[in-house]
Amino acid sequence: MIEIIHRDGLARIGRFEVNGRAVETPALMPVINPNIIVISPREMKDNFGIGAIITNSYIINRDQRLRESAIKNGLHSMLDFDGIIMTDSGTFQSHVYGDINQNYLDIVNFQKNIGSDIGTILDIFSEPDFTYEQAKEAVNETYKRALESKKIKGDMYLAGPIQGSIYQDLRELSARLMDSLDLEYYPIGGVVPLLENYRYSDVVKIVMSVKMNLSFGKPVHLFGAGHPMFFPLAVLMGIDFFDSSSYVKYARDDRVLFPDSTRYLFDLKYVPYQTEFLNSSNLEELKSMEREERFRRLALHNLKISLEEIERIKASIFEGTLWEYVEERCRVHPSLYDALYEFYKYSDKLEKFESLSRKHPFYYTGAESILRPSIGYLEKRIIDTYRYKRKTCIVLRREDLEKAMKYIEKFDSHFLLKTCIGTIPFELLYIYPIFQAILPENCHYRENLSLILDSIDYDVLISWLKGVPEKIVEEEKYITRADKRDLDLLRVRAVADYQFGLGAGEELLKGDVKIVKSKNTGMIRNIYVNDKHILSMRNDGFFTLKIDGGKILHKKFKYPKLRVVVNKDSEEFNKKGKNVFARFVKEMDEYLRPFDEVLVVNEEDELIGVGRTFFNWLEIKTLRKGMVVEIRETLKLNE
């Protein structure tokens, strides 16, 4: 299992541990050929901080010297590496060279006997041009071998590769079958031919078919994905591990890896991404080196470039900017750009893993930005939760907002603002990502709900706004005048409905309402009702739920809405303010998203406290360890 530390949608920074050895993910496992070691595992760990490598048990087993050393001294001693070592089984060699005369159970036993941390079954490689029947046979045989291999693996972690060629239903089947075995590690196999031919869209279909059918707490490895150009998109899809021999293979041919491309050394005049091994000042010196010395230097450069890309990806996850980074990186090759659009076709599934907010503003990088699941989720949530009766509806462009401010307090109308990420009710302009969006001045406006002034779908509009007549007006003479409206109250109610569900705002604001604003910024900070502190507004425009607000919502909404249900073993600890851990969650509102405010209840639906969840229900029910809900306040013991 991976202990997830930070997350951004499906992407995560985690801690993976086996046999007391740990590595932070996403991670690159350099491939080590024990016969031809270009960069030693010891050098990799000491100079590059690499915590996990992968080597081939087939190569070791067929070489008498290596086999005897591995059996006598152990794999870690033989390679002089005290980090995590994963061994491949020889599947690729078997596929390329035919029968390698090894029994699949013998291969697993050999990996166990030499002390591999993660051993791999001898699966059946499925080529992209396999027929459906061939691919299905590979899936079934791979499952059979995994089932039998599990029985003899001992304490060694076992990797069960997921096959199925380019057939999505077979990839889904393979993922479900392998997941049912509850193995410790899941590589996705058979993608190297696709990656080598820039068929990135097919890889996206494969990865998403697998991810949506695997337990989310298990590590996922994309076999053979060694070019850093593909790393960002792969991590965004939830890949935790990569393995790479590219750093060596490319160097052997005088090819240089960069995050956005591969270049031939002797075509370079300048070095766009520099390392201590290759830069503009030593370029000519490197070209004139003897072949073997140059080969090693290029291998060091290629490895460093690959590891640096992993670090940039982790920084983006931590900062909440991975979507922007992926969109930027996918512009380096047309096939990657196509793959990004293929990935966005899964937005309806990805929405479940998106939080309402991020700590970094929403950056618009291009037309594809509006396809992010967070924008689709924004639109759907507005449709579901914005329900206030007005007689008229005024749709404004962003440049008209300042001019319209004089009307907004004085006229009883809906004011909607058209932006390039959607058409937004005025009351919701200060929530993420709307208020925190960095948008270009000349982007095309994005319509939602067919809210177009020249051509409008009245049935959709009326069902949404519940009472707007069939005429959209802009002229002041048509606008119904009203007493000065309390925009703060309207905003609090609309945000509460958007965040917690339709009807939450009305229920929370019953009684004597006091809205406290910041003296410095004038922004709403706290909401009191009948002298009870029920909500605090965050910088992202959403609310932190207080215990008195939690009691109101618990009474308003029926089980299981907004609930995280803890079992009896955890209940007493949670009442004392202790956080909720994965194995103690019995049930959860399936519509909750990561970082949502939640009601923590016991099995009898008695309120224990309020807090926020870091995971959705699909994730929590497959996690076995780690804190999943942070409890902020609890009921007093005498309540």
Provide the β-strand partners of residue 471: none
Average pLDDT, the chain: 89
Q: Residue 469: its pLDDT value, please?
A: 36
Q: Residue 456: its pLDDT value, please?
A: 34
Q: Where are the beta strands (DSSP E) in 518-555?
A: 524-529, 532-537, 543-545
Q: Residue 93: its pLDDT value, please?
A: 62
Q: Residue 102: its pLDDT value, please?
A: 72
Q: Residue 204: its pLDDT value, please?
A: 98
Mean of pLDDT values over 352-371:
90
- What percentage of the chain reaches a pLDDT higher than 90? 74
**Contact residues for 292 (Cβ-Cβ < 8 A; gap 6+):** none
Residue 624 included in any domain = yes
| Same-domain check for residues 313 and 453 | no
| pLDDT over 50 at 507, yes or no | yes
pLDDT single digits (tens) 262-320: 999 999 999 999 999 999 999 999 999 999 999 999 999 999 999 999 999 999 999 99
Q: Residue 402: its pLDDT value, please?
A: 72
| Same-domain check for residues 309 and 266 | yes
pLDDT single digits (tens) 296-307: 999 999 999 999
| pLDDT over 60 at 44, yes or no | yes
Provide the β-strand partners of residue 600: 564, 609
Q: Residue 393: its pLDDT value, please?
A: 72
Closest CA to 115 of 28, 21, 51: 21
Q: Which residues are catalytic?
A: 88
| pLDDT over 90 at 100, yes or no | no
Task: Provide the pLDDT confidence category of residue 99 given band limits of 50, 70 and 90.
Answer: low
DSSP structure class, residue 587:
E
Q: Residue 426: its pLDDT value, please?
A: 87
Mean of pLDDT values over 429-452:
72
The domain that holds 202 is classified in CATH as 3.20.20.105
First to last CA, the chain: 39
Q: Residue 458: its pLDDT value, please?
A: 35
| pLDDT over 50 at 470, yes or no | no
| Same-domain check for residues 337 and 466 | no
Residue 197: CB atoms within 10 A of its CB come to 11
Residue 198 included in any domain = yes
Task: Provide the pLDDT confidence category of residue 447 given band limits of 50, 70 and 90.
Answer: low
| Same-domain check for residues 142 and 258 | yes
CA of 619: how far to CAs of 16, 212, 281, 563, 585, in Å?
17, 11, 49, 15, 11
| Same-domain check for residues 212 and 306 | yes
Q: Residue 74: its pLDDT value, please?
A: 95
Sign of the torsion angle spanned by Cα atoms 423, 429, 433, 436: positive
| pLDDT over 70 at 462, yes or no | no
Residue 150 included in any domain = yes
Q: Are strands 627-634 and 607-613 parallel, antiparallel or unpaired?
A: antiparallel
| pLDDT over 90 at 389, yes or no | no
| Same-domain check for residues 253 and 170 | yes
Mean of pLDDT values over 123-147:
95
Whether 541 and 435 have beta carbons less than 8 Å apart is answered as: yes
Q: Residue 413: its pLDDT value, please?
A: 75
Provide the β-strand partners of residue 587: 565
**Contact residues for 281 (Cβ-Cβ < 8 A; gap 6+):** none
- Rounded to 5 degrees, φ, ψ at 84 are -75, 130
Closest CA to 113 of 178, 170, 60, 166: 60
Residue where a domain terminates, one of 342, 372, 399 = 342
| Same-domain check for residues 442 and 295 | no
Q: Residue 347: its pLDDT value, please?
A: 92
- Rounded to 5 degrees, φ, ψ at 181 are -80, -10
| Same-domain check for residues 26 and 162 | yes
Residue 41 included in any domain = yes
Q: Residue 475: its pLDDT value, please?
A: 45
Question: What is the extent of the structural domain holding 171?
Answer: 22-50+128-342
Residue where a domain terminates, one of 286, 316, 342 = 342
Residue 295 included in any domain = yes
Residue 153 included in any domain = yes
| pLDDT over 50 at 465, yes or no | no
- pTM of the predicted structure, to 2 decimals: 0.91
Residue 623 included in any domain = yes
Q: Residue 299: its pLDDT value, please?
A: 97
| Same-domain check for residues 417 and 317 | no
pLDDT single digits (tens) 325-342: 999 999 999 999 999 999
CA distance linking residue 45 with residue 266, whole number of Å = 30
Mean of pLDDT values over 211-240:
95
How many folded domains does the chain comprise? 3
pLDDT single digits (tens) 199-213: 999 999 999 999 999
Whether 143 and 135 have beta carbons less than 8 Å apart is answered as: no
Q: Residue 446: its pLDDT value, please?
A: 61
Task: Provide the pLDDT confidence category of residue 637 given band limits of 50, 70 and 90.
Answer: low
pLDDT single digits (tens) 518-552: 988 889 999 999 999 999 999 999 999 999 999 99
- Rounded to 5 degrees, φ, ψ at 4 are -85, 125
| Same-domain check for residues 336 and 375 | no
| Same-domain check for residues 26 and 160 | yes
| pLDDT over 90 at 367, yes or no | no
Residue 7 included in any domain = no
Of the two residues 426 and 493, the one the predictor is more confident about is 493
Q: Listing from the earlier edge strand, what are the strands of the sheet with 414-419?
A: 393-397, 414-419, 422-425
Of the two residues 187 and 382, the one the predictor is more confident about is 187
Of the two residues 388 and 213, the one the predictor is more confident about is 213
Residue where a domain terminates, one of 342, 364, 381 = 342
The domain that holds 627 is classified in CATH as 2.30.130.10
Q: List the single range of 65-74, 137-146, 372-381 with lowest mean pLDDT.
A: 372-381
Residue 165: CB atoms within 10 A of its CB come to 27
Q: List the single range of 321-335, 365-379, 469-483 with lowest mean pLDDT.
A: 469-483
Mean of pLDDT values over 605-609:
97
Q: What is the CA radius of gyration of the chain?
A: 28
Q: Are strands 437-438 and 422-425 parallel, antiparallel or unpaired?
A: unpaired
Sign of the torsion angle spanned by Cα atoms 246, 248, 252, 258: positive
Q: Residue 391: its pLDDT value, please?
A: 64
| pLDDT over 60 at 39, yes or no | yes
pLDDT single digits (tens) 612-622: 999 999 999 98
| Same-domain check for residues 169 and 280 | yes
Q: Residue 78: its pLDDT value, please?
A: 95
Whether 494 and 427 have beta carbons less than 8 Å apart is answered as: yes
Q: Residue 388: its pLDDT value, please?
A: 72
Q: Residue 450: its pLDDT value, please?
A: 36
